[in-house]
A and B are shown apart, each in its own frame.
Chain A
Amino acid sequence: MTARRVISHEAAVRGGIRYFLKHATIDVDELATALAVSRATLYRVVGSREQLLGNVLWELANHRLAAARRARTCDGVDGVIEVTRLFAAGLASATGLRGFLATERETAIRVLSHPGGVVHERVVAAQKEIFLEVGCPAEPQRSVDLDNLARLYVRMAEAVLYIKLLGGTQVDIDPVENALRALLTSP
Chain B
Amino acid sequence: MRVLLVAPPGAGKGTQGALIAAHFDVPHIATGDLLREHVARRTKLGIAVQEHLDRGELVPDDVVLDIVQTAFVTAKERGGGYVLDGMPRNMTQARALYQVGRSLDMTANVALHLKADDDELIRRLLARAALEHRADDTEDVIRRRLALYHDVTHPIVQWYGTRGILVTVDAMRPVEHVAQQILTALEAMRPLVGLVPEHARQSVDLTGLGTAFGEP
Cβ contacts under 8 Å, A34 to chain B = 58-59
Binds B, one of A43-51, A65-73, A157-165: A43-51
- Is there a chain A Cβ closer than 8 Å to B212's Cβ? no
Q: Let me know if A33 and B35 touch, CB within 8 A.
A: yes
- Of residues 23 through 48 on chain A, the ones whose CB sits less than 8 Å from some CB of chain B are 25, 27, 29-38, 40, 43, 48
Given contacts A18-B57, A48-B135, A3 and B37 within 8 Å (CB-CB): yes
Q: Let me know if A25 and B37 touch, CB within 8 A.
A: no
- With the chains together, A37 CA to B41 CA distance in Å? 14
Q: Let me know if A48 and B145 touch, CB within 8 A.
A: no
- Is there a chain A Cβ closer than 8 Å to B209's Cβ? no
Q: Let me know if A35 and B58 touch, CB within 8 A.
A: yes
Q: Let me know if B35 and A36 touch, CB within 8 A.
A: yes
- Of residues 101 through 140 on chain B, the ones whose CB sits less than 8 Å from some CB of chain A are 132, 134-138, 140
- Is there a chain B Cβ closer than 8 Å to A14's Cβ? yes
Residue of B nearest to A50 (CB): B136
Cβ contacts under 8 Å, B185 to chain A = none
Residue of B nearest to A25 (CB): B144
Cβ contacts under 8 Å, B138 to chain A = 107
Chain B 134-155 against A: per-residue CB contact (8 Å), 1 yes, 0 no? 1111101100110010000000
- Is there a chain A Cβ closer than 8 Å to B36's Cβ? yes
Given contacts A3-B40, A3-B41, A29-B9, A18 and B56 within 8 Å (CB-CB): yes
Cβ contacts under 8 Å, A40 to chain B = 132
Cβ contacts under 8 Å, A49 to chain B = 134, 136-137, 141
Q: Let me know if A33 and B32 touch, CB within 8 A.
A: yes
Chain B 67-108 against A: per-residue CB contact (8 Å), 1 yes, 0 no? 000000000000000000010010000000000000000000
Cβ contacts under 8 Å, A31 to chain B = 58
Q: Let me know if B141 and A15 touch, CB within 8 A.
A: no
- Is there a chain B Cβ closer than 8 Å to A103's Cβ? yes
**Residue with the greatest number of chain B CB neighbours at <10 A, chosen from A18, A33, A35:** A33
Give me 29 A-to-B residue pairs in the complex whose CB atoms sit less than 8 angstroms apart, sorted by A's number.
A2-B36, A2-B37, A3-B36, A3-B37, A3-B40, A7-B53, A14-B56, A15-B53, A15-B56, A25-B144, A25-B148, A27-B145, A30-B89, A31-B58, A33-B32, A33-B35, A33-B59, A33-B86, A35-B59, A36-B53, A37-B36, A38-B32, A43-B132, A49-B134, A103-B144, A104-B141, A106-B140, A107-B138, A107-B141
Closest 4 CB pairs of A and B: A3-B40, A34-B58, A14-B56, A33-B32
